[in-house]
Amino acid sequence: MEIKSSLPPIISHPLLQLSAPAKINWFLSVLGKREDGYHNISSLMQCVSIYDNLTFEQADTMEVVCDLEDIPPGDNLVYKAASLLRQYTSYKKGAKIALHKNIPVSAGLGGGSSDAAYTLSGLNRIWGLGLSNEELSTLGAEIGSDVPFFLNCSFAFVEGKGEKITPLKLNNPAIVLLLVKPSISVSTAWAYAYFDKLNIGELTKKTVDIKLFCQAFLNRDLASLSATLNNDLEKVVIERYPVIGEIKEKLSKNGAIISSMTGSGPTVFGVFESKKAALTAAEKLGFNNWCRVVETIL
């Protein structure tokens, strides 16, 4: 399999085009380290309206092209997903996959995992493999803990190392968010390892009452949401990167009702009453940071 780092070619007759969304963690509780080296978590995850774009075309060989040179070939999860699926199914032909990145890497937004999930789904369709979502999720879990989430839903309570997924359906309107990422990247592996180092024998046992959280979410009771909003990785990441704490303060000063770091960071999201208010805040915070106004997806 070959992977290149270049601008995606113009594919005149694509078989399939997919948009892979980012996600945020409304809360993230780290419940302890597992024997397999992963951590058990409890989290509420939701997709948001910023997308990487993938284009698939049948080909005799496997080729992946990406417009972001910062992604080393060995870390490209599209490559890993395609390779794993081809090996699992013994599929003889290949595909040309063009990846256009809009979601920043190592940002806590799940962009790589989403790309991997949509690669598995897209290839399953254009190759006519007929694999179930359960099979794809099992394969996806070998690539990354968040991949099964993106294969199954856009809003869910996630447990275990990420493989236990309870989809949630709430008919509330979309919530406006401002995503702010400073000019740093945070490795998920580093964040969990540093969490372990700083919490030896003192791992957090805090859990969130998911029913109460969803009720507050449905009623747009942001005061109650603020009291429950928690990311166990936030404190340790801020200790190493104080700029994340500074961004949270600036979001509050510029109209955010609540704010939190998502995933292993460094992206922080702020909740706003309106798109106009979020755009105004983005003008204030966008000088040294990557900023995007998005909405939640149900």
d(CA 86, CA 125): 13
Amino acid at 202: E
Q: Which of 23, 80, 96, 248 is catalytic?
A: 23
Cα 32 to Cα 86: distance, rounded to the nearest angstrom: 34
Q: Where are the alpha helices (DSSP H) in the chain?
A: 77-89, 111-126, 133-143, 147-152, 188-198, 210-218, 222-228, 232-240, 243-253, 275-285
Taking the alpha carbons of 264, 232, 141, 122 in that order, is the dihedral positive or negative?
negative
Give the separation between CA 82 and CA 119, rounded to whole angstroms.
7
Q: What is the largest CA-CA distance in the chain?
A: 57
Indicate which residue of 52, 80, 101, 146 is catalytic.
Answer: 146
Alpha carbon distance 222, 237 (integer Å): 25
Task: Decide if 235 is catalytic.
Answer: no
31: buried, middle or exposed (CB in 10 Å: 19+, 13-18, 0-12)? Answer: middle
Tokens read off for 16: 């399939």
Count CA within 13 A, CB hemisphere, residue 80: 20
Q: Looking at the DSSP assignment, which residues form a beta bridge with residue 199?
A: none
User: 248 with 259: CB under 8 angstroms?
Assistant: yes
Whole-Å CA distances, 275 to 88, 196, 294 = 44, 38, 8
52 is an active site residue: no
Which among 154, 155, 117 is positioned nearest to 137, based on CA atoms?
117
**What amino acid positions are annotated as catalytic residues?**
23, 146
